[in-house]
A and B are shown apart, each in its own frame.
Chain A
């Protein structure tokens, strides 16, 4: 029982961070149709820029977060403007590859400036453990859940309710048509990349606080794919459910079965899901009519 509680909370917190990272991916995909393989690197950039502001430049935490947001927005907008805009209308594979190239460049940049040694950061979230139902649970994990839930809630609201949400979805469907109804495609693109980068920043910093600031964050980012595919690529609730599922399943498998197996369990789950539902659990079938 006690193990169960520990694993449950840790799994939920991982899942929540994962969902947040994945939501950035979904945001980009929904609005621009771009499959961003560099989402993991966005987490990395987020974590390192915050680290630089907070630890290296010794800024107060709020200011450091603002610096992080600024960097995230700039990176997001620059990437959109100079790398993805010229790619409009290219095939899936080309877009996937250009973001893979981007991922290489971003991680190479981080590596060039910071090396690969993990860096430690003074704790942001409260440390220590509490006992819940007999399980020892790190307090920062609980905080991670809360933070991610709040940010996820805000983003979801924005996407579903605000008029920018509809604009984003319209742009995703048909950019030319969106222009004819007066939606500035550029602004929508820039906005979705910036939002994705910001959500990655929050996910990255939370993750870095729980672990360390290190290149490994990228590997965590790879898990975004099983999550979004399970969720159906463009469904916000699907992404949240997908994130929590992957977080929990991984944790339970590594706790009760084989920790090594946990590495590939997200992918096994994914394959199972796809066999039953080729468009993910929450995804709608692509419209294909002749």
Chain B
């Protein structure tokens, strides 16, 4: 295992782990007018898995883009507040620099390189760590044997789920200390969702890799996370240990939804749209 060599091996999250990523009261504006994040603060302690939940358009992806330096490529800007990573202020740093420091983002909606083969996708992922790329590659293939089988195939032709695996594998290629995943389960089969979250938990447990994950699938996310944040309309509304959040009645009502375990209502029983206003 070569990812995150400096992380404490095998250690569970210490009680008061130092923050690896901390976002302090940031505001983000798109196109100079659209205010999306309104004073958002967030801590990702070293070695933990943190889940970020929230409804569509709450600004989850924007938060990760701010942390990874992608905002400028979308006419977005952090207008106030600061972001620091491993004690260093990275608010103004450009994206590739952040990757070099060990901050890696796996974007929403896959974003594989469609015309590159699977292995070239992975090699591109190891761009910043070219010397060790070979080793890391083996590691990724071990984690995702399916990718190893498809290494010569063109990524654009893969199915959605296959592409998602590739995207995660690619993110690992830069040997991150913090891996940020934006909706990794989007469009994935249940088995795969389980698999992916198991992988995340395993990576975390084995190597101490710190993970920040956005999920719609709140139940699964909270099941592996140590800590959770819930955001609405550009602000954090609620924050707690993952288990506590999962038991919170509001969270149950609005994020865990109907159907599924414990004899909930069926989708057929939902008779009205817009049952409620936003949860605020």
Contact = CB atoms under 8 A, between A and B. Distances in A.
Contacts of B100: 182
B128 interface: yes
A181 B111 CA distance: 11
B173 A181 contact: yes
B154 A287 contact: yes
B107 A184 contact: no
Interface in B89-118: 94-96, 99-100, 104-107, 111-116
A182 B115 contact: no
A163 to B, nearest CB: 5
Contacts of A183: 96, 124, 127
B166 to A, nearest CB: 11
A172 interface: yes
A177 B111 contact: yes
B96 A173 contact: no
B125 interface: yes
Contacts of A176: 70, 73, 107, 111
A185 B128 CA distance: 13
A177 B73 contact: no
Contact of B107 (A169, A180, A289): A180
Contacts of B171: 180-181
Interface in A43-64: none
Contact of B94 (A169, A173, A184): A184
Given A163-B127, A169-B120, A287-B157, A180 B115 contact: no
Contact of B116 (A173, A175, A184, A289): A173
A284 B106 CA distance: 27
B95 A180 contact: yes
B170 interface: yes
A166 interface: yes
B63 interface: no
- What size tier do the contact residues of chain A reach? 20 to 34
A154 B76 CA distance: 40
A262 interface: no
B65 to A, nearest CB: 9
B99 A182 contact: yes
Nearest to A165: B120
Given A166-B120, A289-B156, A173 B70 contact: no
A167 B70 CA distance: 18
A174 B106 CA distance: 13
Interface string A14-45: 00000000000000000000000000000000
Nearest to B121: A170
B69 A173 contact: no
A178 interface: yes
B88 to A, nearest CB: 16
Given A172-B115, A176-B73, A182 B130 contact: no
Contacts of A184: 94, 96
A123 B113 CA distance: 47
Interface in A147-173: 163, 166-167, 169-170, 172-173
Nearest to A30: B115
Contacts of B62: none
A181 B99 contact: yes
Nearest to A175: B73
B132 to A, nearest CB: 13
Contacts of A88: 73
A163 B130 contact: yes
A179 interface: yes
A179 B95 contact: yes
A185 B68 CA distance: 15
Nearest to B65: A176
B3 to A, nearest CB: 14
Interface in A70-96: 88
B278 to A, nearest CB: 29
A182 B95 CA distance: 7
- Output the residue of A88, A178, A179, A287 with the most chain B CB within 10 A: A179
Contact of B123 (A166, A175, A177, A185): A166
A197 B94 CA distance: 27
Contacts of A172: 115
A181 B120 contact: no
Nearest to A88: B73
Given A177-B107, A287-B154, A170 B116 contact: yes
Contacts of A175: 73
21 contacts: A167-B127, A170-B113, A170-B121, A173-B115, A173-B116, A174-B111, A174-B114, A177-B112, A178-B113, A180-B99, A180-B107, A180-B171, A181-B99, A181-B126, A181-B128, A182-B96, A182-B100, A184-B96, A185-B73, A287-B114, A287-B156
Interface of B: 68-70, 73, 94-96, 99-100, 104-107, 111-116, 120-121, 123-128, 130, 154, 156-157, 170-171, 173-174
